[in-house]
Chains A and B, each alone.
Chain A
């Protein structure tokens, strides 16, 4: 479990970016951190692996205070994929990029090879094995950054803005992938603005505004609450916008998928028309 107790943080004296945040990320959680630009989301997750230490309060990763552990020790458990892959990638080939952390964590050559193969396959990057990360598109770089972290098999996987630069199909693959590793028991935390992406993940949302956690709850609750949507600078998912006014006719509010929506409407439209 990652536990934040009354955490406050300032980059500059007097300007608090996180304000008195208390939360728990439990093992097996699938969590989406959402909220406006500048709400403190990235600052929050940088506390999870000790990259940032709280100005006040404390952060415990499996009962170890991040103040008394090194980032290297914490990273073995808490893998963080940065928002901008250019800040993370530096090797000459995709393969070397993935091997780098594995070598540092002391994996042997056979293990490195096996894990590299595995993550390249998982993220559809096999054809880029020998390519320079710098020549890849933004979306591909993002997947390489994810692969390089996933390779050392961290217990907690934290990803900052995984959908940026990914097209529709890649996003849908990513959603399936994250849902699957979450079902297998890995703890997954994503920071994202992508309402439609989150709407179809079965995850919990942690909503932030101005350095505080202002709400937390399942997707069906948070993404149908107009008040919270406004406070978090989000927009309602498109289909919720459609179904919200229909709720007085007995339709559910929390409809996120097109198939579900069309079935609901097809079943009921004829009935309502006759009525």
Chain B
């Protein structure tokens, strides 16, 4: 679904590349969490996937980027938008209409779809993210979590096969963040949408993920099963903020008090701990 080969990218007038020799293959239906310290290239990589880089940002790019069988370099952003949707940190920056319905309609009208199809897609997308009732509400009256769901609906209505989320919960309270994670997991599970999510709140994101990719200084540092990656050497992963239960599990596993691999949630850890106690 996503194929990146030997990608090197440098922003205009930047001295050194933001992405260095990135190779990444993501299959249909995967839920990949992309982690790494600030400035490691996560957002830059996201921008490559719908052609914002290089079509909008310019700069020097070499290598291959293919998304949904389309070569990103030779297709305009407008065409790519129907295959890969981006959702950003702050939903306020993405919503601008007087009603949620108008916001979702905007992208669809730009595709030139007939009105009946537009209405059908709006209803479908709002139901899919669980805010069907808010169709006529003004975006600025919604809670942060509802706004982010509206922003997701705008992207979902374009029926992309890949959705890329760049820190979608940063501005949200924990309860709303959890609800956004569950919504994304549902889109992945029930609609088969391939998900790539940049997220610092690993404790919330990883339990839904099938795979984890860690970036550092423009390259890929680790790629694989989240439990296995987090069970490994902690030192090189310091910058990403290992979830506290995973780190606790790793420390106890080192002393042979409970077996690896590490847990990704408190529930999972508690269950393993009880098992160890009863053995």
Question: Interface on B for A, CB 8 Å cutoff?
Answer: 36-39, 89-90, 143-145, 167, 170-178, 200, 203, 238-241, 243-245, 247-248, 251-252, 255, 257, 266-267, 269-270, 273, 276-277, 279
Least Cβ distance of B245 to chain A in Å? 5
Interface bin, chain A? 35 or more
A169 with B173, Cβ < 8 A, contacts A262-B251, A269-B252 known: no
Question: What are 30 pairs between A and B in contact, CB < 8 Å?
Answer: A37-B144, A37-B173, A84-B90, A138-B89, A161-B171, A164-B89, A167-B38, A167-B200, A167-B239, A167-B241, A168-B37, A168-B239, A168-B241, A196-B244, A233-B173, A233-B175, A233-B176, A234-B174, A235-B178, A238-B266, A241-B270, A242-B245, A258-B244, A258-B251, A262-B251, A262-B252, A265-B273, A266-B252, A266-B255, A270-B257
* Contact A169–B37 (Cβ < 8 Å): yes
Question: Interface on A for B, CB 8 Å cutoff?
Answer: 35-38, 84, 137-140, 161, 164-171, 193, 195-196, 232-239, 241-242, 245, 258, 261-262, 265-266, 269-270, 272-273
> Is chain B's binding surface mostly helix, strand, loop or mixed?
helix
**A270 nearest in chain B by CB position:** B257
Q: Report the separation of the CA atoms of residues A129 and B39 in the bound assembly, to the nearest whole angstrom.
A: 18
**B252: A residues at CB distance < 8 A:** 262, 265-266, 269
Q: Report the separation of the CA atoms of residues A174 and B239 in the bound assembly, to the nearest whole angstrom.
A: 14
Q: Report the separation of the CA atoms of residues A166 and B167 in the bound assembly, to the nearest whole angstrom.
A: 11
Q: Report the separation of the CA atoms of residues A270 and B277 in the bound assembly, to the nearest whole angstrom.
A: 9
**A262: B residues at CB distance < 8 A:** 248, 251-252
Q: Report the separation of the CA atoms of residues A234 and B89 in the bound assembly, to the nearest whole angstrom.
A: 19
**B251: A residues at CB distance < 8 A:** 258, 262
* Contact B240–A36 (Cβ < 8 Å): no
* Contact B266–A242 (Cβ < 8 Å): yes
Q: Report the separation of the CA atoms of residues A258 and B269 in the bound assembly, to the nearest whole angstrom.
A: 13
Q: Report the separation of the CA atoms of residues A171 and B37 in the bound assembly, to the nearest whole angstrom.
A: 11
Q: Report the separation of the CA atoms of residues A38 and B241 in the bound assembly, to the nearest whole angstrom.
A: 28
If A161-B171, A167-B38, A168-B200 are given as contacts, then 11 extra A-B residue pairs at C-beta distance below 8 Å, sorted by A number, are A167-B240, A168-B241, A169-B37, A193-B172, A235-B178, A238-B244, A238-B245, A238-B266, A245-B270, A258-B248, A262-B248
